[in-house]
Amino acid sequence: MTKTFVEGEFLLRVNRFLTEVKVEGEHYRAFLANSGRLKEILKKGTPVILRKKERGTRNTPFDLWAAWADRTWVIVDARAANLLFPFLLESGLLSLQGHTFPLTSEVKAKGTRLDFSLQKAGQTLWVETKSVTLVKGTQALFPDAPTTRGTRQLRELQRLLQEGHRALLAFMVLRGDATAFSPNWEIDPDFCSSLKETLSKGLEVLAFRFSVQRESVTKAERIPVCL
């Protein structure tokens, strides 16, 4: 464990983005950068990995980075999906057929904000990544809570496709025990229906699994998408 990360124990979720944890017998508040439910993962007593943060304007000394889920570490910090996407390009795991760097992040489209864009001869490739933490059996599922924002982003991707651009949705499975990915119809049929519709209009959908060892990612692989 590096000096940046410490081990702790999850106690409770105070609100959407705030948790209470225990480190070396002391109770602390930790920021959680994830709006999902995570109820299958964040249970009282669960071992967690926390990233130390400078106080600054924040009152929380830690970010909640990862949690142990029965058989594997799971990165619960949703920001990791965007941090890992450039690695897929650099490593050759993801080829974008001529769309090259520079990779522009946090790009504003007409209707919403998307994660990345790349250019090629006047055509833009728009990219949205989704952090996936829920696995049932060996099937990764998204979302784990209804996501109106995700549905809105799919509608914007539809519009961009109709303008002649490319669009990619990359599901980033932040745990190493999934063998395939599926949309979670039970939790959010609106998102899943929008996904199916956008796919019919040309959306490219890929899923990648990341093996996690406490504070680090040790392996990345592409896995099948079952729609």
Q: Band of the pLDDT at 119, cuts 50, 70, 90?
A: confident
Average pLDDT, the chain: 93
SS (HEC) of the chain = CCCCEEEEEEEEEEECCEEEEEECCEEEEEECCCCCCCCCCCCCCCEEEEEECCCCCCCCCEEEEEEECCCCEEECCCCHHHHHHHHHHHHCCCCCCCCEEEEEEEEECCCCEEEEEEEECCEEEEEEEEEECEEECCEEEECCCCCHHHHHHHHHHHHHHHCCCEEEEEEEECCCCCCEEEECCCCCHHHHHHHHHHHHCCCEEEEEEEEEECCEEEEEEEECECC
The partner residues of 10 in beta bridges, in order of sequence, read 21
The partner residues of 176 in beta bridges, in order of sequence, read none
Task: Report whether 207 contacts 225 (CB < 8 A).
Answer: yes
Q: Collect all residues with Cβ–Cβ distance below 8 Å to 102 and sequence separation of at least 6.
A: 118
- The Cα 66–Cα 32 span in angstroms is 10
Q: Band of the pLDDT at 99, cuts 50, 70, 90?
A: low
**What is the token pair recorded at 222?**
């592409």
Task: Report whether 93 contacts 60 (CB < 8 A).
Answer: no
- Interval 35-79: pLDDT, tens: 999 999 999 999 999 999 876 667 899 999 999 998 999 999 999
Q: How many CB atoms lie within 10 A of CB 164?
A: 10
**What structural domains and CATH numbers belong to the chain?**
5-68 (2.40.50.580), 80-223 (3.40.1350.60)
Q: On the CB side of 18, how many CA atoms lie within 13 Å of its CA?
A: 8
Segment 147-173 shows an average pLDDT of 96
Nearest of 36, 39, 29, 35 to residue 8 by alpha carbon? 29
Which pLDDT score, from 0 to 100, does residue 110 have? 80
